[in-house]
């Protein structure tokens, strides 16, 4: 998979790229590129944003700047990009990221992530240049960069070779193997710590009973999560 992140802070991703599962995915043939809006802005002094029409606080990322950066990187009219790849604007008002959307994105051959800053994007970016807008939760971040990292982390760990042990994505939280429920609890040595023990069944060596216990725990956690009132 080819992932391109458009951002005002490409250097933030240098650390992110060193994370083991990202580095593994890249070693497995995937790419994670960063493009700086500032390197492609047609405006003077590296300007990328402007005050909102109609007034109000903050600054808005300009449509001509994003258009120029996409055009320079892909060497085409960005309006035609949607034919060949998903172009995702990261914005708090977008479609909520969940495991289903992560799987959808992980099956794409290429992905473009647009990070906004300040008050966000000129709406024409979302309307004409992006194919999707995605949010990572019902709260506001200062910019889309951390959200882009969340999307990359969740998506790239699904790519071949990312985790090093392929079955760990099969039976994890929200997977089909667990019926979409959260994962069961894990324990490791020591079996007794202070007065805290470990469920007997896990020490029994009885694989069938362990499997049943885990599935039941996962199911109960799913029920508990569903019973929590929605915001
Ligand atoms: Cl994608 N961007 C920003 N700025 N804030 C957010 C978000 C995205 N998702 C949740 N909050």
Give the CATH number for residue 202: 1.10.1270.20
Give the Å distance between the CA of 8 and the centre of ligand 1. 15
pLDDT at site 230:
57
- Low-confidence spans in the chain with pLDDT less than 50: none
The crossing angle, in degrees rounded to 10, of helices 20-27 and 145-156 is: 60
CA of 136 to the centre of ligand 1 (A): 6
Do residues 150 and 175 share a domain? Answer: no
Is 213 in contact with 199 (CB distance < 8 Å)? yes
pLDDT at residue 29, as a whole number: 94
What's the pLDDT score for residue 161? Answer: 84
Q: What's the domain range around 63?
A: 2-156
Nearest CA-CA partner of 86 in 110, 106, 70, 63 = 110
CB neighbours of residue 133 within 10 Å: 20
Neighbours of 208 (CB within 10 A): 7
Give the dihedral sign, CA 79/83/89/94: positive
- In-domain check, residue 161: no
pLDDT value at residue 227: 80
Count: domains in the chain: 2
Atom of ligand 1 nearest to the CA of 143: 4
Mutate to test the pocket of ligand 1, among 5, 94, 126, 136 (most ligand atoms within 8 A of CB): 136
pLDDT at 173 (0 to 100): 86
The pLDDT of residue 179: 86
97 lines ligand 1 (CB under 6 A): no
Measured between alpha carbons, how far is 110 from 123 in angstroms, rounded to an integer?
Answer: 24
Do 134 and 219 have their domain in common? no
179 with 213, same domain: the answer is: yes
CATH number, domain with residue 137: 3.40.1280.10
Residue 185 and residue 91 in one domain? no
């Amino acid at each position: 998979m080819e992932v391109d992140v458009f951002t005002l802070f490409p250097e933030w991703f240098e650390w992110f790229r060193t994370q083991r599962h990202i580095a593994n995915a890249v070693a497995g043939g995937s790419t994670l590129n960063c493009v700086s809006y500032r390197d492609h802005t047609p405006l003077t002094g590296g300007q990328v944003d402007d005050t909102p029409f109609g007034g109000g606080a903050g600054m808005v990322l300009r449509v001509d700047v994003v258009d120029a950066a996409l055009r320079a990187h892909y060497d085409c009219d960005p309006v035609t990009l949607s034919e060949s790849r998903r172009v995702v604007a990261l914005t708090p008002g977008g479609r909520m990221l969940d495991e289903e959307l992560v799987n959808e994105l992980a099956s794409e051959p290429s992905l473009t992530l647009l990070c906004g800053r300040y008050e966000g994007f000129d709406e024409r970016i979302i309307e004409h240049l992006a194919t999707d807008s995605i949010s990572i939760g019902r709260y506001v971040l200062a910019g889309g960069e951390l959200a882009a990292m969340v999307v990359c982390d969740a998506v790239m760990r699904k790519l071949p070779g990312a985790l090093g042990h392929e079955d760990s994505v099969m039976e994890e939280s929200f997977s089909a193997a667990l019926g979409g429920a959260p994962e069961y609890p894990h324990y490791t040595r020591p079996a007794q710590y202070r007065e805290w023990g470990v469920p007997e069944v896990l020490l029994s060596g009885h694989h069938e009973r362990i499997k049943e216990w885990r599935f039941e725990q996962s199911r109960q956690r799913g029920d508990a999560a569903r019973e929590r009132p929605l915001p």
